[in-house]
Chain A
Amino acid sequence: MLKYSIKRLLYSAIILVFVMLIIYTLMYVMPGNYVEQKAYELASKPGATKSAAEWLADLKKQYGMDQGLIKGYFTWLRSAVRFEFGDSWKWQKACTQVFTDRIWYSFILNVITMILEIIIAIPLGIHAARKQYSFSDYFTTVFSMVCISMPTFFIATVLKLVFAVKLKWFDLTGMIDPRIHDSLSDFGKFLDVAKHYVLPVITITIISIGGLMRYTRTNMLEVLSSDYIRTARAKGVPERKVIYSHAFRNTLIPLITILGGSLVSLFSGAIITEQLFGLTGIGQASYQSMVVGDIPFTMFYLMFISVLTLVGNLVADLCYAAADPRVRLS
Chain B
Amino acid sequence: MASYNLNEILKKRALSQKGQEKKEMDLGDTARVKVLSPMQQVFKRFIRNRLAIFGTCTLLFMFVFSFIGPIFYKYSQSETMYKYEGVVSPYSFVQLRKEYTGYTLDPEVTYNRTAVNKTNSNINTMEKAGQTTYAFLASDGKLYILNKEGESIYSLAQADLKKTASFGEGLVLVGTYDGIGKTVKFEREDLGAEFVALAAENCKGNSGEFVFEDVTYTFTKGSAKKSYNIYTEPSEGFNYYGAALDEGFENAATAAAVGEMFEYGGKQYVVTSPDEGSFEAYAVSDPVRFMLYTKFGFDTYATGLPLTDSFKVQALNAVYGGGPFQAERLADTEAYLEEVAEAAVEAQNEHEDVAVGMEEETAPVQTEAATEAPAETGEAAEGGEAEIPADSDFVTDTFTITPSEEHEGVFVITSSTGEKYAELNTLVVRRNNGDDTMDLDLKYAIRGVVEKMMADFSQTETLTYQIPMQTEDGKNKYDEDGNLEYADSEITITRRNDGEYNVQASQQRLLIDKFADPSAAHVLGTDGDGFDVLARIMYGGRISLMVGFVVVILETFLGVIMGGLAGFFGGWVDNLVMRLVDIFYCLPFMPIMIIIGALMDAMRMDVRIRLFVMMAALGVMGWAGIARLVRGQILSLREQEFMVAAEATGLPISRRIFRHLVPNVMPQLIVSATMGLGSTILTESTLSFLGLGVKHPLATWGTMINSVSSAAAMEQYAYIWIPVGLLICFTVIAFNFVGDGLRDAFDPKGKR
Contact = CB atoms under 8 A, between A and B. Distances in A.
A151 B583 contact: no
B342 to A, nearest CB: 50
Contacts of A15: 579, 582-583, 586
Interface in A294-314: 298, 301-302, 305-306, 309-310
A31 B603 contact: yes
Contacts of A26: 592, 595-596, 599
Contact of B718 (A23, A161, A306): A161
Interface string A278-322: 000000001100111100001001100110011000000000000
Contacts of A166: 715
Nearest to B706: A153
Contact of A23 (B592, B682, B711): B592
Interface in B733-749: 733, 736-737, 740
Contacts of A291: 594, 598, 692
A257 interface: no
Nearest to A292: B598
A288 to B, nearest CB: 10
B103 to A, nearest CB: 62
13 contacts: A18-B579, A26-B599, A29-B599, A145-B736, A153-B690, A154-B725, A157-B714, A218-B751, A271-B591, A271-B594, A290-B595, A305-B588, A306-B586
Contacts of B587: 19, 22-23, 306
Contacts of A264: none
Given A22-B583, A154-B705, A290 B594 contact: yes
A69 to B, nearest CB: 16
A15 to B, nearest CB: 5
A304 B713 CA distance: 37
A154 B727 CA distance: 11
A222 B749 CA distance: 10
B602 A293 contact: yes
A259 B590 CA distance: 21
B686 interface: yes
A139 B634 CA distance: 36
The secondary structure that dominates the B interface is helix
Interface in B657-697: 678, 682, 685-686, 689-690, 692
Given A151-B685, A221-B752, A165 B729 contact: no
Interface centre among A153, A271, A298 (most CB of B within 10 A): A153
Nearest to A22: B587
Contact of A149 (B592, B678, B689, B715): B678
Nearest to B597: A291
B732 interface: yes
Given A29-B599, A145-B736, 4 more contacts: A151-B725, A153-B705, A165-B711, A217-B752
Contacts of A145: 51, 733, 736-737, 740
Contacts of A172: 711
B721 interface: yes
B728 interface: yes
Contacts of B598: 290-293
B602 A160 contact: no
B709 interface: yes
Contact of B586 (A29, A150, A310): A310
Interface of B: 51, 579, 582-583, 585-588, 590-592, 594-596, 598-599, 602-603, 678, 682, 685-686, 689-690, 692, 702, 705, 709, 711, 714-715, 718, 721-722, 725, 728-729, 732-733, 736-737, 740, 751-752
Interface string A219-243: 0011000000000000000000000
Interface of A: 15-16, 18-19, 22-23, 26-27, 29-31, 34, 138, 141-142, 145-146, 148-154, 157-158, 160-161, 165-166, 172, 217-218, 221-222, 271-272, 275, 286-287, 290-293, 298, 301-302, 305-306, 309-310
Nearest to A286: B591
Chain B CB within 10 Å, residue with most, of A23, A157, A298, A306: A157
A218 B751 CA distance: 7
B594 A151 contact: no
A278 B685 CA distance: 20
Contacts of A222: 751
Given A149-B682, A154-B729, A310-B586, A301 B51 contact: no
A149 B732 contact: yes
B729 A30 contact: no
A160 B588 CA distance: 28
A146 B729 contact: yes
A286 B595 CA distance: 10
Contacts of B722: 158
A16 B591 contact: no
A34 B705 contact: no
A287 B594 contact: yes
Contacts of A302: 588, 591-592
B539 to A, nearest CB: 19
Contacts of B725: 151, 154, 157-158
- With most chain A CB atoms within 10 A of its CB, the pick from B583, B592, B596 is B583
A11 B399 CA distance: 106
Which of B579, B586, B595, B740 neighbours the largest number of chain A CB atoms within 10 Å of its CB? Answer: B586
A153 B689 contact: yes
Contacts of B751: 218, 222
A19 B591 CA distance: 13
A19 B583 contact: yes
A309 B588 contact: yes
Nearest to B732: A149
Contact of A306 (B51, B588, B599, B728): B588
A305 B591 contact: yes
Contacts of B721: 157
Contact of A30 (B583, B602, B732, B736): B602
A149 B736 contact: yes
A29 B592 CA distance: 13
B718 A149 contact: no
B595 A298 contact: yes
A161 B685 CA distance: 19
Contacts of B705: 153-154, 157
Contacts of B740: 145
Nearest to A148: B736
A153 B752 contact: no
A18 B714 contact: no
Contacts of B585: 309
A19 B584 CA distance: 7
Top-8 shortest CB links A-B = A149-B732, A154-B725, A34-B602, A149-B733, A305-B588, A153-B689, A165-B715, A218-B752
A148 B686 CA distance: 14
Given A26-B596, A151-B686, A18 B583 contact: yes
A221 B686 CA distance: 34
Contacts of B729: 146, 149-151, 154
B243 to A, nearest CB: 93
Contacts of A309: 585-586, 588
A309 B721 CA distance: 35
A286 B586 CA distance: 18
A117 B692 CA distance: 30
A305 B721 CA distance: 32
A110 B652 CA distance: 53
Nearest to B689: A153
A115 B591 CA distance: 25
Contacts of A18: 579, 583
B713 to A, nearest CB: 11
A19 B588 CA distance: 9
